[in-house]
Amino acid sequence: MFSFRTLSAAALICTLAGGSALAQTGNDVRIIPGADAVAWQPAPPMFPSGTRLSFLYGSADKAGPFTLRVMIPAGSVIPPHTHNMDEMLTVLGGSIHHYIGPTITADQDKVLTAGGFVHLPPNVPHALKAGTQGAIVQVSGTGPFTMTYVNPQDDPRHTNR
């Protein structure tokens, strides 16, 4: 039996308050001209130490579409967790090991490199580990967004980051 703990995306938004590299017009068009214009900030403590995030569009704690990027240090693990919404993940750089299921097992290991894509329906347990060069992934979905660790003890907030 697993316990579940919901982690609110509001923590993401609070952590990411501040400047933006987005160009915006009156009709909510967003343009980021290149990778050097992405505004990275430290991820909330619910992510592995050294992880950085950038919200490209939308707000994960409100209804509507959002897109964010996650920069994950080499070898970092995001333990098994679920989301309350469909998740679309694309690897932009580096590589990840992606696992489907409530535990990380070798038979579930799928290596994804730049251009790799995963769609997960709501509440599908999954985990990932950044490759030896780290990884940059882009995640899109429709908020509000929550993250629930399958095992609450896997939450990095319970360890000495």
Judge whether 115 and 80 are in contact, CB under 8 Å.
Answer: no
Phi, psi of 109 (to 5 degrees): -70, 115
Q: pTM surpassing 0.75?
A: yes
Structural contact between residues 142 and 7, judged by C-beta atoms closer than 8 angstroms: no
Token pair for residue 88? 């679309």
What is the tens place of the pLDDT at every residue in 101-137?
999 999 999 999 999 999 999 999 999 999 999 999 9
Mean pLDDT, to the nearest integer, of 71-96?
97
Mean per-residue pLDDT of the chain: 84
